[in-house]
Amino acid sequence: MHPLWSISELSAVLGVEAEGGSGAPITGVSIDTRSLEPGDLFVALIDQRDGHDFVSAAFKAGAAAALVRESYARQPGDGALFRVPDTLAALEALGVAARKRLSPDARIVGVTGSVGKTGTKEMLRACLSRLGPTHASEKSYNNHWGVPLTLARMPRETKFGVFEIGMNHADEIRPLTKMVRPHAAIITTVEAVHLEHFPSVEAIADAKAEIFEGLPEGGAAIIKFENPHAGRLRATAERLGAKPITFGLDVPADVQGLQLTASDGGSDMTVVVGGGSIPVHVAMPGRHIAENALAVAAALHAVGADVRQGLDALASLAPPAGRGARSVLRIGAGEGLLIDESYNANPASMKAALAALAAVPRAKYSRRIAVLGDMLELGSDAQALHTGLKSAVDEADVDLVFACGPHMKGLYDALPAAKKGGYASTSQSIGTALADSLRAGDVVMVKASNGIRLGSVVAALKMQFGQQDEPAA
């Protein structure tokens, strides 16, 4: 196997010679010295902080080279330096070069959408890893630096690449998808998320549809059949010369999920794709996850992968921390179940998470508790969107609600007294109130935007009630 980058390749791509250093090859690319591995190229980006302040630390941690702006003053201990006018533009150039050097039969999938990007990306990673060398975005590295960083890290032997692409504004996805050049592009769904920066949900749909601009002629534009904006997405795809492929549960989509049966152990369904029917078990519970799995099936089919063998991976893929991870709590002599959704929240994912809570059988966990914190970045409709969750709380037959944050107060006030577990403006006090009322047989689902910090409530519960991971179902 070749190293990720040789010094001479970097010189050719960046158009500058390395200054100093031993000429040792580059084995990774890093923008953060806290996670830098020996052998990495350190890229000094100017973002929240100026990466140039960390170049010395990067070399101390074993960086093989650093990408810095021209004016950077070499420090004692610095190794190979590549001086460029703009480090972000240089990272993009590396990304473009990494994409270009892949074999022509490598296949790339791009994933965007209002919710479900990371989850879908991780499902694709798991499925495609069974079929060949696969490279995928780390965490939610989906923005103007995350996407070129992921590209720059892509080994040349990659057979399958999976890229999460996100946005907060119009015109952000376009340049990213043109770097990624996906063969198949998924829009998981279009919802009223990040409304702050958009005049309408239609405008959000159009911004997501920019991802199709990176597809080749006839590339797969994968769209959720049931989304109200599916027609709009399809029209854009067709105008761009892409091939729309729809997916959905119990609808006449191109890729269909039929006979979905849900339990707390996940979902089972029959996936109809490319003229075949495949029984599929998805270990992550939730109808919305099953829908994302259909998008995955559509992408596997579109890139010519073995769909059946790929989807097999979903039978053993557990949800990540903060996105539905489950753990068993020891409460007295009994048990409770904790569902950690503390990383992210918006109206669509709140409803999905409440539905997943409702799918936990009462026979096993008799009392349903929802700990709900504010959903951020919803713009002027924020209050109505919070209060509007009441019907989802009712439908899920939640027994007790704890609420946290000024907007959730609106929902809390609308609940009958018997369902009011407690309200607090901070995550700390809500954690205490919750812990006091927990008893064996409870299932607790904790969800909010990450900024509300309900992750600390989850951590405190695990600490207090000694947890163990839920055995895979």
Ligand X SMILES: Nc1ncnc2c1ncn2[C@@H]1O[C@H](COP(=O)(O)OP(=O)(O)O)[C@@H](O)[C@H]1O
Residues near Mg ion (CB under 5 A) are 117-118, 140
Rg (CA), the chain: 23
Told to check if 266 binds ligand X by CB under 6 A, we report no
C-alpha distance from residue 189 to each of 193, 233, 288, 321, 371 (Å): 11, 10, 10, 22, 25
For the bound state, the minimum distance from the C-beta of residue 31 to ligand X, rounded and expressed in Å, comes to 20
Among 33, 256, 344, 449, binds ligand X (CB under 6 A): 344
For the bound state, the minimum distance from the C-beta of residue 324 to Mg ion, rounded and expressed in Å, comes to 13
Told to check if 442 binds ligand X by CB under 6 A, we report no
Nearest-CA neighbor of 182 among 155, 210, 204?
A: 210
Side-chain-facing half-sphere of 388: CA atoms under 13 Å: 13
Query: Per CB under 6 A, which region of 29-37, 250-258, 341-349, 377-385 contacts ligand X?
Result: 341-349
For the bound state, the minimum distance from the C-beta of residue 81 to Mg ion, rounded and expressed in Å, comes to 33
Name which of residues 279 to 338 contact ligand X (CB under 6 A).
Answer: 288, 291-292, 323-324
- 117 vs 153, which CB is nearer to Mg ion? 117
Cβ 107 vs Cβ 305: under 8 Å: yes
- 118 vs 177, which CB is nearer to ligand X? 118
- 138 vs 413, which CB is nearer to Mg ion? 138
Told to check if 30 binds ligand X by CB under 6 A, we report no
- 95 vs 322, which CB is nearer to Mg ion? 322
For the bound state, the minimum distance from the C-beta of residue 22 to Mg ion, rounded and expressed in Å, comes to 38
52: left (phi over 0), alpha (psi -120 to 50) or beta: alpha
For the bound state, the minimum distance from the C-beta of residue 142 to ligand X, rounded and expressed in Å, comes to 7
Give dist(CA 312, CA 221) in Å, integer: 23
Nearest-CA neighbor of 180 among 161, 156, 207?
A: 161
By Cβ distance, which residue is nearest to ligand X?
116
Chain centroid offset of residue 361 CA: 28
Nearest-CA neighbor of 69 among 6, 19, 23, 141?
A: 19
Among 107, 117, 125, 386, binds ligand X (CB under 6 A): 117
Chain centroid offset of residue 354 CA: 19
Residues binding ligand X (CB under 6 A)? 113, 115-119, 140, 188-189, 288, 291-292, 323-324, 341, 344, 348-349, 352-353
